[in-house]
Structure 1
């Protein structure tokens, strides 16, 4: 039996502003934008090349900004960082984890290069560079 994670709900305070952030600044594709009832609008967006989408607007029971550690894996962390910064996203510098667990500036070894950023509500995202050829 296959178990596939396909949708992750993200709590946001303003659906329209969040839709613009995720589609225009992050480059996510808008799969659908549906009003399913009074005051309930569901917008599903998918990162380019991803099999998993995010959904905003659906009641999550979670405070906007509470999601942390959402991770996007990219083949070129410097290029991805530059792309987001060019679209107006406030992104951190490239960092890596030292053996003692602390974050240090610059790229690390295989699978050990990260860039941190937040959406408009403070939901925390991480870019991680995958090892070349994996």
Structure 2
């Protein structure tokens, strides 16, 4: 029997933790944790609505360069997701329809890129 694997946390490199936290909260992420562990180590965990996986931003979290992270998530409706982003003041692409789903793209204030993919069904549920 194969053990179940679930992605828990994806580090997202940012230059200004408070600005990034406010951005993600504005688009609907829940701020689960915001803790300064020690000088130079601040851990901010944010979870997208309905997701079992979170992102982490902060100080001392990752050596990645801000603006280099790419994340793709699944949403039920690309048009509704785009509308929510635009209403929150985020510059989002038009919906791009592909044979494998509808996509919306946007970037956070540091340039980290997000792709929202609407799919009707996934092979593994």
Task: Give deviations 1:19-63, integer Å, cap 9, x for gaps.
Answer: 000111x21001010001112211000001100000001421111
CA distance in 1, matches of 2:61, 2:9: 14
Which runs of 5 or more residues in structure 1 are unaligned?
96-106
Which residue of structure 2 lines up, in the alignment, with residue 120 of structure 1? 109
CA contact (8 A) 2:46 2:56 kept: yes
Cα RMSD after superposing both structures: 1.5
CA distance in 2, matches of 1:78, 1:132: 17
Query: Stretches of 4+ moved more than 6 A in 1?
Result: none
Which residue of structure 2 lines up, in the alignment, with residue 71 of structure 1? 72
Which runs of 5 or more residues in structure 2 are unaligned?
none
CA contact (8 A) 1:28 1:46 kept: yes
CA contact (8 A) 1:9 1:54 kept: yes
Q: 2:22 aligns with which of 5, 20, 23?
A: 20
User: TM-score of the superposition, structure 1-length normalised?
Assistant: 0.84
More strand by share: 2
Q: 2:98 aligns with which of 77, 88, 108?
A: 108
Which residue of structure 1 lines up, in the alignment, with residue 86 of structure 2? 85
